[in-house]
A and B are shown apart, each in its own frame.
Chain A
Amino acid sequence: MAALHLFHISTATFKMTSGPYNYSYIFKYIIIGDMGVGKSCLLHQFTDKKFMADCPHTIGVEFGTRIIEVAGQKIKLQIWDTAGQERFRAVTRSYYRGAAGALMVYDITRRSTYNHLSSWLTDTRNLTNPSTVIFLIGNKSDLDGQRDVTYEEAKQFADENGLMFVEASAKTGQNVEEAFLETAKKIYQSIQDGRLDLNAAESGVQHKPASPGRPLAAPPAARDNCAC
């Protein structure tokens, strides 16, 4: 971390100091779900691949992060991938700590992954704070022919549990961006509503009061490392 930051500083002077590169919040996400549902692929899709063209919003270097914009605010998303194996379930609880958003993923071609959702949900509810936004993602929507779980069924499950839901494809990138962005919007909303206490360490949100007018307040240069 320190090295990265030092790098930021060293290149900060070359950066334009305009708004897009600064951010005022950090949201922590976790991605949960059974093994093989494509959690990592979703993450990679979101942070790395498809969005190279969208330079201001992408961070290539820093681990699992991307900067997005919600309601004119730059928000840095920090996304933690988690191990989905059943045997690690008991020990992976520390992932949840301080997560502002949880992306619960299942594989629409494998019913078992859908069936496990309730236990994932229980964990999430138990281990995060009430304001944590949970988003259900049915991954591999590109494999519609092998579909094992219907959209309606999942939608119903989501509605019953008050989750947001979307079917996405890490492969094509369909709806991936939306899922992450919608979650961020919801979190930002709860911040605005005051439901989320920024000062609580467990909130999963860090507020970074930006000082855009000042020249020294150069944004992290990591966004600069985008290939475009």
Chain B
Amino acid sequence: MIPVVVKISKMPSLRIDQSDLKCKNGCDYFGNPQWQGYCSKCHREQMQRQRKAEKASSATLPKPETKKPDRGLKITSHSSFSKFEEKRHRQSETLKKANLLKFSVFKKSSTDDHEHSSEKRPPEFKIPPQVNEGMKRDFRMRFPQLAQSRSKEPSLAVDRDCRAFVNSFIMDVIKCTNVMTVDELSERVQRQYQRFMKHMDTSAHFSHVDADTKELLMDFVEKHAMTYLHELPSIVFSPNGTEDERLDRAMSERIQQLSWVGERHLECRLDMNHAECRQLLYKAISELLGMDSALSPGDKLARVRRCCRHVLRLCSSSAPASADDLLPALIFTVLKANPPRLVSNINFVTRFCNAQRLMTGEGGYYFTNLCCAVSFIENLTAESLNMEKKEFDCYMAMPASIGGSAWAAALSLCGAAREADEQRALAHKLRAHTRTIHERADLLAANAKSFEEQIAKKVEDVLAKTPLEIKPRRELPRIGKFKEISTAPLIDLGTSHAHGEPEPPPETKPEPQPEPTVPQEPNITIQASENEPKLNILGFEVIERQSPSKSPQNLDQTWDLKQTSSLELLTPSPLGFTPFDSRSIDELMTPDDFGADQLPPGLSNINYDIDLSDFSGDNSIAEDAPKSDPKDPFSPEALKKTFDPFAPQTSRGYEALDSFDEFSFVDQRKQETDPFEVVHRGQDPFSPVDIAKDPFFSPPKQSTSILDDNDSPTSGCLLPSPMQPQSSGKPT
């Protein structure tokens, strides 16, 4: 059954229906299998559509033209030999990739660009401005005698001419690339060189330039033009239409195959066991490998020259070197180096280096030797190595990896040594670095320490200068409230005067000075020590006042009854304190001072309690105190808040306060004169601990300021001075 079915199904194919012959498009014309079943017209249309689609897709591809050869892989002379092989591989791989790209680019460009954008090219190949910039810089560097010759004009012309030539040269070459074969292009380039040479000989611009400099200028021009062109793929370096790349690979493989060729085959006198010999060979190989990374023919020649100099020294260890020795040694070097893109490089130099240079001069000579070496390697036979054909074949059949292991080992040893050297140098550098870092760290630590000490000392100084004074403000109001009314608020003036004068810091014990001394200020009533007990007895808070200075005049005021103004009742503000009031808590606390001797025990005790409660804020008595108290009574804001409502008159002083917040100001003004001022406090903001510890410290500054600025008696009441109670005390 099935075969029958098959047969049946096949049947139609045997009978060709007319419709089968028609165009697939159904346009009534006959189709043709050659045109995929279309009629000629439909087929053409179809093809055009397809081509368009292809073009569109290729146009969307990123333009690889901008891709530059990967320089990261370029071998420097410092690279170690052990990396040669690896680098070579990588390089050849990327090369292949680049070549693929190149070819695809060119196929595309030859279709696209030729068709519809031949005039689009020039803008595409606009010479980047950095070429000109680089030339300018280089010109100045290389021809200083031209750049700064006495006559400015001609040298400028020289510079300009060079650049103009390079630009036109580049444009010309690029224009001709697609039209000419490489040899034609090479000829053209040589003619360009000659043209420029002639220009230099005839132009008035170059009349002051001597022949040698002209030659240098020639090199200069060639270098810059070719460096730029070298970067463009497939223009001058392994150009399209040449076999250069294939030859490169072939040469590389050939050299690999010949890795067994040793110095004895070439009859050159090289001693592998000699360290110096190995080093020289290693250097020569490095230079040779570096040839690929040089961009201009001149630079490549320079590499070759350096390489050959090393080789020459290699040969001349025993006797003066001759070409009879140089060539074999160079061949050996090339074999061991297996430089990347060797053929391309040689062709590049041959084609586009100034012919004059290639034919004369050291570079030309060595380059010729290199060419000889390469062609020797290309054509190497058993005969040229003076060995049996059979032996040679055996060697050639050998896997490449086996041969030449001794030299490879020696050279890799060299490479390792070099690498070790580099590493060592690096380690040295790092060590030096760490040393300096350590030194600096030490220095920094020392600095920090000294700074710390300085700060500590400053803090100490300040502490010593301005011992902690404790003003239990909150009770004061309570106790002193009654008192206050009776007491005259005027005293502040006097006190401020008294303390305006510079006084040494009161580092001594806060013991009261019992001896009454003559008051300096007429205003101030200075109390004898006898007064204090009275005051104390009255129930006012007793503040042990130590005279800020040792000076006898001030000593008299030993005990102050804290006077509180009405304002002070509500304000814990530090303004209530005059600078000389500053006391440490301890001083205040010492019960023996007032408690035992001068004060009724009961009173002193009470004061004590109150004091504590003041700080803690727990005390029930403290409830009277302003709410702001627990916060930061000394902060300017707090001052303001508490201050404002009660002291409208002091607004002036208030402003002063504000201004006094600036440390500097206070500093300048007060430092010498007033030891108590809290300038320091302000200055070292890093000691918040101190502030926290003795919060009563800060106020004096402000108080002083107010005192200074405010002469009005009303303001005085804000700042109940220790003197006040005394004066008041006396009458009482």
Would you call B216 and A36 a contact (CB within 8 A)?
Answer: no
A9 near B362 with CB under 8 A, answer no
Choose from A4, A40, A78, A210 the contact partner of B211 (Cβ within 8 Å). A210
Contact between chains at A204 and B324 (CB < 8 Å): no
Q: A9-B213, A90-B379, A94-B371 are in contact. Are A40 and B320 (CB under 8 A)?
A: yes
Is the CB–CB distance between A201 and B302 below 8 Å?
no
Nearest Cβ on chain B to A48's Cβ, whole angstroms? 9
Residues on A with C-beta less than 8 A from B322 are: 39-41, 81
In the complex, whether A95 has a CB less than 8 A from a CB of chain B is yes
Chain A residues with CB under 8 Å of B355's CB are 201
Question: A1-B301, A5-B216, A216-B209 are contacts. A84–B368 as well, Cβ < 8 Å?
Answer: no
Which A residue sits closest to B378, measured CB to CB?
A91
Contacts of A62 in B (CB 8 A): 362
From residue 204 to 223 of chain A, which have CB atoms closer than 8 A to chain B? 204, 206, 208-211, 214, 216-218, 220
When the two chains form their complex, are residues A95 and B216 in contact, meaning their CB atoms are under 8 A apart?
Answer: no
- Chain B residues whose C-beta falls within 8 Å of the C-beta of A87 in the assembled complex: 376, 383-386
Whether B213 lies near A1 (C-beta < 8 A) is no
Give Cα A113–Cα B302 distance, bound, in whole angstroms: 35
Residue of A1, A9, A94 touching B357 (CB-CB under 8 A)? A1
With A64-B365, A88-B372, A91-B372 as known contacts, state yes or no: A26 contacts B360, CB within 8 Å. yes
Q: Which residues of A contact B372 (CB under 8 A)?
A: 83, 88, 91-92, 94-95
* With A91-B375, A217-B210: A206-B356 Cβ-Cβ less than 8 Å: yes
Complex partner residue of A85 from B145, B324, B363, CB under 8 angstroms: B324
A102 to B717, CA, bound (A): 119
Cβ B327 vs Cβ A216 within 8 A = no
Residue B219, interface by CB 8 Å: yes
Q: Contact: A216 with B210, CB < 8 Å?
A: yes
With A1-B361, A2-B219, A87-B384 as given contacts, are A35 and B324 in contact (CB-CB < 8 Å)?
yes
Interface members, chain B 172-226 (any A CB < 8 Å): 190, 201, 207-213, 215-216, 219
A8 interface residue per 8 A CB criterion: yes
**Within 8 Å CB of B356, what residues of A?**
201, 206
- Whole-angstrom distance between the alpha carbons of A13 and B144 in the complex? 12
- Chain A residues with Cβ below 8 Å from B385 are 87
- B376 and A88 within 8 A (CB): yes
User: Is the CB–CB distance between B363 and A1 below 8 Å?
Assistant: yes
Q: Which B308-356 residues have C-beta < 8 A from chain A?
A: 320-324, 326-328, 355-356
Taking Cβ atoms with an 8 Å cutoff, the residues of A that contact B are 1-6, 8-9, 12-13, 22, 26, 28, 35-36, 39-41, 44, 62-64, 78, 80-85, 87-88, 90-92, 94-95, 97-98, 201-202, 204, 206, 208-211, 214, 216-218, 220
7 contacts between A and B (CB under 8 A): A5-B216, A91-B373, A95-B368, A201-B356, A211-B211, A214-B208, A216-B209
B residues adjacent to A (C-beta < 8 A): 142-143, 145, 149, 190, 201, 207-213, 215-216, 219, 267, 298, 301-302, 305, 320-324, 326-328, 355-357, 359-363, 365, 368, 371-373, 375-376, 379, 383-386
